[in-house]
Chains A and B, each alone.
Chain A
Amino acid sequence: MSANPLLMGHPLASTENARHALLYMCRIRKFEEAVEDLFGRGMMHGTMHLSIGQEASPTGMCMALTIQDQITSTHRGHGHCIAKGADLTRMIAELLGKEIGYCGGRGGSMHIADVDTGNLGANGVVGGGIPIAAGAALASKMMKKGTVAVSFFGDGAMNEGAFHEAANLAAIWNLPMILFCENNKYGMSSSTEKAFAIDNLADRGKGYGIPGINVNGNDVVEVYEAAQIAVDRAKKGDGPTLIIAETYRWKGHSRSDKNLYRTKEEIEEWRLLDPIPKFIARAIKEKKLTQEQCDAIQQEATDAIVAAVNEAVKAKAADPAGLLDAVFKKVSA
Chain B
Amino acid sequence: MSDRMLTMAEAVREAMSIAFDERPEVFLLGEDVGIYGGAFGVSGDMYHRYGSERVLDTPIAELGIVGAAVGAALSGMRPIVEIQFSDFTAQAMDQIANQAAKIHFMLGGALHVPMVLRTPQGSGTGAAAQHSQNLEPWFASVPGLKVVVPSNPADAKGLLLASIDDPNPVIFLEHKLLYKIPGRDPVPEGSERIPLGVAKVVREGKDLTIVATGIMVNKSYEVCEKLAAEGISVTLIDPRTISPLDMQPVYESVEKTGRLMVVQEGPAHAGFINEVIAQMAGSSSFGSLIAPIKRLAGMNIPIPYAPQLEKAAVPQIEDIEAAAREIVKNWR
Residues of A within 8 A of B (CB): 70, 72, 94, 101-107, 111-115, 120-121, 123-125, 128, 130-140, 142-143, 149, 161-162, 164-166, 168-169, 172, 326-332
Contacts and interface: CB of A to CB of B under 8 A. Distances in A.
B106 A133 contact: no
A120 B103 CA distance: 9
Nearest to B98: A125
A326 B109 contact: yes
Nearest to B114: A329
A136 B75 CA distance: 6
Interface in B82-120: 94-95, 98-99, 103-112
A133 B146 contact: no
Contacts of A329: 104, 109, 112, 167-168
Contacts of B69: 135
Contact of A165 (B63, B70, B75, B167): B63
A132 B77 contact: no
Contacts of A120: 71, 74-75, 111
28 contacts: A72-B71, A104-B108, A105-B108, A114-B110, A115-B111, A121-B103, A121-B107, A125-B94, A125-B98, A128-B94, A131-B68, A132-B71, A135-B68, A137-B71, A139-B74, A142-B72, A142-B77, A143-B25, A143-B75, A149-B75, A161-B63, A165-B67, A168-B61, A169-B68, A172-B59, A326-B105, A327-B143, A328-B104
Given A327-B104, A328-B104, A331-B167, A136 B72 contact: yes
Query: Considering the complex of A and B, which 7 residue pairs feature the smallest CB-CB distances, nearest first?
Result: A135-B71, A131-B67, A165-B64, A103-B108, A139-B75, A135-B68, A132-B71
B255 interface: no
Interface of B: 25, 27, 53, 58-59, 61, 63-77, 79, 94-95, 98-99, 103-112, 143-144, 146, 165-168
B106 A168 contact: no
Contacts of B166: 331
Given A106-B107, A143-B25, 9 more contacts: A105-B108, A120-B71, A120-B75, A139-B75, A162-B94, A165-B64, A166-B67, A327-B144, A331-B165
A115 B73 contact: no
A168 B108 contact: no
Contacts of A169: 58-59, 61, 64-65, 68
Contact of A142 (B53, B61, B108): B53
A102 B70 contact: no
Contacts of B27: 142
A102 B71 CA distance: 19
Contacts of A164: 64
A142 B109 CA distance: 25
Contacts of A331: 165-168
Nearest to A111: B106
B70 A135 contact: yes
A164 B94 CA distance: 15
Contacts of B63: 131, 161-162, 165
A195 B112 CA distance: 35
A133 B99 CA distance: 12
A104 B65 CA distance: 30
B320 to A, nearest CB: 34
A138 B95 contact: no
A106 B67 contact: no
B106 A107 contact: yes
Nearest to A110: B106
A76 to B, nearest CB: 17
A164 B63 CA distance: 10
A14 B111 CA distance: 36
B117 to A, nearest CB: 13
Contacts of B70: 131-132, 135
Nearest to A175: B68
Nearest to A116: B110
A104 B70 CA distance: 22
A139 B71 contact: yes
Contact of B71 (A111, A149, A172, A330): A149
Given A165-B67, A328-B146, A329-B168, A139 B107 contact: no
Contacts of B72: 135-136, 138-139, 142
A105 B76 CA distance: 26
Given A107-B106, A328-B146, A132 B74 contact: yes
Contacts of B167: 328-332
B165 A106 contact: no
Nearest to A141: B53
A250 B149 CA distance: 51
A113 B112 CA distance: 12
A150 to B, nearest CB: 12
Contact of A107 (B77, B94, B108, B143): B108
A143 B77 contact: yes
A166 B166 CA distance: 26
Contacts of A104: 108-109
Contact of B59 (A72, A137, A168): A168
B148 to A, nearest CB: 14
A113 B165 CA distance: 24
A139 B111 CA distance: 15
Contacts of A131: 63-64, 66-68, 70-71, 95
A74 to B, nearest CB: 13
A162 B109 contact: no
A124 B95 CA distance: 12
Contacts of B59: 165, 168-169, 172
